[in-house]
Structure 1
Amino acid sequence: MRIDASAIDVRVRTQGISGDERGLATIFVKTVAWMRMAKPTVELTISAGVVAMKPQPSPGDVEITFDKDGKGGWTAALADITDCPFSAPLTPVVERLLPIYQAGGGIGPEADAVPYVFLPVQEGWLQIAVPGPLPDGQGAVANNDETPDSAMSGRIFVSHEGSNRGVVIDDASAIELKIDWSFAGKPTPSLIQLRAGTPKGQLLGMVYVSESSPNAREALRRLAEGQLRPAICLYGLAPSPPILASGDIRLEP
């Protein structure tokens, strides 16, 4: 059964990795439908955006499942994100590392740039040379294609299963919300699934950079002793180089 979309107001309130990081988004509802599932559950489907969501997830979609945690709250879980190009701008990273490398002896006091950064990987460190700026006219090119109207305003900010990994959604061309309502006693939502199509935002806690300087005795401290700081990762955007870039996010334990 369909419901008049103008009759409802949908807002999503979320919490990020820390208690101070909160999100609030208004969903611009286009259609609302409900279907009775196994008693006593009803599934409410809310769709937003001018681009219709496909029945199955498409590459680049961000999917979040909100489930009751047994304590009266909710736990958010992110699905793997495939074929979703993201990038980590290195300019703020190398600016922060310059005095650290100079003080630690990794580069000389006269140096005005950091030549490389170190990323922790499963079995040690990955050393990556910092690319220089591209010649004029060869930087990132914005997408000039007409962008569909946004399906939301505000920000959706969640932590993956209460960890230090999470996602921020600042924009999406389409959003689908599926809410399972239980009518056993007082009507209450029991499961919420959110899928965002063509989203834009940030990935949190996915890529880390060492803030320890190499020196004459060792290239880096042992992994357990190194100081790490997360790098900002952007998706759905075209940042200016230098950047790190990749395409899939696998949320393994």
Structure 2
Amino acid sequence: MSSISMRKTTLAAAGLAVASSLILTGCKDGNEEVPAAPAAPSAQASQPGGYATPPAGAPSSPAAGGYDGASGAPAGGSGAVAKSGQAFKIGEAATVPFTSGSKSGQLALTVTSIEAGSPADLTSLNVADKVKGKTPFYIHYTAKNTGTTDLSFASVGHMKGLLDGGSESDTLLIAGKFEKCPSESLPKGFTNGQSQTSCAIALAPTGTKVTGAEYWGDPYNNLNNPPQKGITWK
């Protein structure tokens, strides 16, 4: 086989592997997807925007220590940008950098409750093979625009469940409406001060519970040195 043919074969195999990964795992390890979700944000996600100018001497990277997008307050104060791996209580707001495609800004995310559902809730979705032996838990959260950019039609997502033992739950992604756990893109005119409620479906093996939630959107999902961790609520 010529070197050109070998290269084409290698590229084709790599493309197939990527496509299969999206179908089988959804947004992260162990997740289920119905159907395949949109592609992940581009490399622009590593450069979040929409912040007020930080004061002199403030850290340049929100994930490395951060500053408040509205007041420029250093991390650790009220409203400071959440640090990698930081833990919050359910009902407590976390200020995070936000990116979705070409849009970037800042949000205050709050996990408001985690509600146990029933396997029967998912009957109409025709996903019995994917959820067999699992119970759905609904993670309810709000997103408030605390930055300076219009985030109309952006998709928040990147919220997953944590089992009572601390490990990650599976996540069920749904294309379309699901009344038990509605999740839609941010509405038109989503500017500073606007907020929206949303929901994520976490799947727990029968006999276990989802007792926490984790947001792992950029920059809390990168593998830079040091690697960044998601922020959690319990």
Shorter-normalised TM range: under 0.3
TM-score, normalised relative to structure 1: 0.22
TM-score, normalised relative to structure 2: 0.24
Higher relative contact order (CA 8 A, sep 6+): 1
Q: Rg: which structure is higher?
A: 1
Greater strand proportion: 1
